[in-house]
Amino acid sequence: MQSKRKLAVTALLLCLCLLFSSCSLVVKDAAVDAATEIVRVGDTVYTKGEVKELVSSYLNQMASYYSSNYGMSIDVNDSAMVKQAQEAVTHDLVEGAVVKAKEEEMGYLPLSEEAEAEVQETWKEAYDLIKNVFFSSTEVGDGEGQVTEEDLDAQIRAAVAQYLGYTEEGLRTSKAQELLKAEVVKGVAVTDEEIQADYDSKVESAKTNYASNLSAYGTAVNGGETVYYRPAGYRMVKQILVQFLDEDENRVNQLNTKLTSANSRVTSATTQLNNLGVTTQEDVDALVAGVTVEMDEMDFTAATLPDLLATPSDLSEDAIAKASVESLSDEAKEAVKQLAAAKALQAKYQELVNTATEQAFARIDARADEVLAKIAAGEDWNTLVEEYNDDPGMNGDSATAQNGYAVCEGFTSFDSAFTAAAMGIESVGGTSDKTRGSYGYYIIRYESEVQEGPVDLADVRDTISSALLTTKQDELFEKTVHTWVDEANAKIDLNALKD
């Protein structure tokens, strides 16, 4: 009897041992785990593997976005961040499945022949564009350096997704949703009262904005944006730009680039000298004056201008004596020499910029004078624009070509020389003299005065109506989709995503 009881106790202990050690004996099957159901919407199921992959992609995209746009790093393993990503991904999966089911139910999927033809037309344009831009020289075949038709097709499709942001199947999805949305919102309309209210709001908002930021009006008008209020102080002007010859413009630009670099070197060398104890401008000037600098010659007519080389001589003791510094370290002396070299380069490049600019203007003087003579003779302005103008903004059917540029006193979006000349014309219809600017000669015509006050409702009615209609349609469709999602009673198991 005692033997039987001992055997039973032993068996019980063995069972308990197996029970408590079971966690180390059970190993998850990776494939089975990945197939765990996370989302179910009707007959549509998304598994753990699918959802985790989408969540990982979501987090990586978010990290990339914050890094590139804000210089911020986010922890993609942070539990709160992961939970947010899981909720966002599963919500989108549910919504997508519900919308797709409605598209099938209402006959928009599969697409009709007409809708599919529209998709294929858009896709072909994108496909051909990417192929011509990136793969025009790709050879198809089995030889070295060649690719198969299948590989080329895959590469083009991937490039369309990368550069244009969509796929062929994505276009089908968008088309089906477009058709579904059109059906849902077909009864939506905008009333006159809504248009008037929105117009009044936009006028008041613009008036307030321009009162504290006058340049915002000019920026909006010149950028082709719709405006609802015109502030005082603006005028519309047109111009004939007599532009520098290409070779002259290139030379001036090259020299200005080198001058900018020389300016930076002066700033850096000055800061270094200040940090070494030479802090007053008088001391800096006295020390720099005690250094002689020699420079190489430059071929001014060369297509690509070389950099000048500056070689400073030793710093004279006389210069140190003139500066109010008791002693100067070897490091500081070297900094003085570097600053002297930088200043010599700065002065030389400024001289070269001035010389090149004078030559550039000299070579277009005759053409600008010809324009002025024809204006004085009463020739038609628009005809002269067609014949002489080099400003793209004054050509074609653009708003600026038709109406001119909006400009006011102190407007900084344009070259200051242009703004000053434009505001210096006394009356509408008058023209400026040839005015030196950053790109050549400006010859400006005062086209019209901008009358202060609200724009006419009739001029912006269609814009307002279209925007309001789009907003109302979007809101209705979003509300309808939310209703469909609630009715679908989707099953989501976020706990099953835990490893």
- Which of the residue ranges 24-28, 72-76, 120-124, 195-199 would you say has the lowest mean pLDDT? 24-28
More confident residue, 456 or 19: 456
Average pLDDT, the chain: 92
Angle (CA) 58 61 64, round 5° = 150
More confident residue, 19 or 255: 255
Helix ranges (H only) for 21-164 are 22-25, 30-34, 48-70, 79-105, 113-134, 149-164
Question: Are 259 and 348 in the same domain?
Answer: yes
Picking from 177, 201, 220, the residue at the C-terminal end of a domain is: 177
Question: Are 89 and 190 in the same domain?
Answer: no
Question: Are 149 and 72 in the same domain?
Answer: no
Question: Are 224 and 268 in the same domain?
Answer: no
Provide the pLDDT for residue 28. Answer: 64
The per-residue pLDDT for range 16-55, each reduced to its tens digit, is 444 444 444 455 688 898 999 999 999 999 999 999 999 9
Structure tokens at 214: 């006058």
List Cβ<8 Å contacts ≥24 apart for 386-389.
Answer: 388/240, 388/242, 389/239, 389/240, 389/241
**How far is residue 246's CA from residue 239's CA, in Å, rounded to a whole number?**
20
Picking from 360, 386, 412, the residue at the C-terminal end of a domain is: 360
3-state helix, strand, coil in the chain (%, to 5): 65, 10, 30
Question: Are 16 and 55 in the same domain?
Answer: no
Provide the pLDDT for residue 142. Answer: 85
Question: Are 27 and 79 in the same domain?
Answer: no
Number of domains in the chain: 6
Residue range 333-340: average pLDDT?
A: 94
- Which of the residue ranges 7-21, 305-319, 335-349, 394-408 would you say has the lowest mean pLDDT? 7-21
Question: Are 306 and 319 in the same domain?
Answer: yes
Domain span at residue 355 reads: 247-360
